[in-house]
Amino acid sequence: MKSLLATLALTTALTLPGLAMARPVTMTTTLNSYGGDGAYLALYVTDPSGAYVGSLWMAGGKSKYYKHLSDWYRLTGGDKAQVNGITGASVGAGRSLEITLDLSDALFDAGYTLHVDAAVEDMRESPNEIAVPLTTENAGKPVRGRRYVAGFTYDM
């Protein structure tokens, strides 16, 4: 089990004082067969006002390509430190990415949104491929992406 990013914990602690409880959340991203090389995926959270809160995972190791995850890049200014320690390999067409993190309870049912940006070499950039509100009700319900993601779910 991977622990939640320090910055995220820090930010949520600052914005929502008093929260202490966290629970493991498993996020599964399954890609369709788009016929290209491995996709870069950025998973991150924004608050009710749309401001960046923190990153959950970065699939793709070469930071020079992060600018193609254009929403994530704009929100973070391309700050590599945002994904320090929570970076993995890019995800091939038709493959799935499954990650489990401890997410603070306070993130749920409070207007936060989980986003996935996707990009593939020589193919279209797909910022905001997924944008799903973090609610306990939405847990376990698959969401389709705009271009590359066949299904995204988070289970608690």
Partner 1 sequence: MIRVLHRWPGLLALALVTVLALSGAALSVFPAAERLAAPQAEAELNVATLAARIQAAYPGVEQIRRAPSGRITAYWFDQGTPGAAVIDPATGLGAGSADPNQTQRWLTNLHRSLFLGDGGRIAMAMGAAAMLVLALSGAALVARRTGGWRHWFARLRGPLPGRLHVEIARLAVLGLVLSSATALWMTASTFDLLPDAGANLSIPAEVSGQTGVALAAIDRLASTPVAELRELNFPYPDDMTDVFTLTTDDGTGFLDQGTGALLNWVDPTGWQRVSETIYMLHTGQGAATLGLVLGLMVLGIPAMGATGVLIWLAGRRGRPRIRGNQPAGRAQTILLVGSESGSTWGFAATLHAALSKAGQSVHAAPMSGFAPDRYSHAERIIVLAATYGDGDAPASAKGFLDRLTAVDGAAVVPLAVLGFGDRSFPAYCAFAKAVAAVAGAKGWPELIPLDTVDRQSPQDFARWGRALGQAMAIDLELVHQPILPATETLTLVSRRDYGAEVQAPTAILRFALPRTTLWQRLTGAGFARFAAGDLIGILPEGSPVPRFYSLAAARRDGFIEIVVKKHPGGLCSGQLNGLEPGATITAFLRRNPDFHPGRGRTPLILIGAGTGIGPLVGFVRGNTRRRPIHLFFGMRHPDSDFLYGAEMPDWQAKGHLARVVTAVSRGARPNYVQDALRGDGAEVSRLIRNGARVMVCGGRDMAAGVADVLAEVLAPAGLTPAALKLEGRYVEDVY
Residues within the interface to partner 1 (CB under 8 A) = 35-37, 61-64, 70, 74, 77-78, 89, 121-126, 128, 146-147
Q: Which residues contact 44 (CB under 8 A, 6 or more apart)?
A: 52, 53, 54, 55, 56, 72, 75, 76, 82, 114, 115, 117
Tokens of 17: 């004082």
Shortest gap between Cβ of 148 and partner 1 (angstroms)?
A: 9
Shortest gap between Cβ of 40 and partner 1 (angstroms)?
A: 14
* HSE (side-chain half, CA atoms, 13 Å) at 135: 9
Shortest gap between Cβ of 114 and partner 1 (angstroms)?
A: 18
Token pair 């990009």 in the structure block, residue: 119
Distance CA 19, CA 119 (A): 35
The helix/strand/coil state of 6 is helix
* Between 73 and 108, CB nearer to partner 1: 73
Shortest gap between Cβ of 50 and partner 1 (angstroms)?
A: 8
Shortest gap between Cβ of 25 and partner 1 (angstroms)?
A: 27
Distance CA 140, CA 98 (A): 13
* Between 52 and 108, CB nearer to partner 1: 52
* Between 22 and 123, CB nearer to partner 1: 123
What type of residue is 143?
V
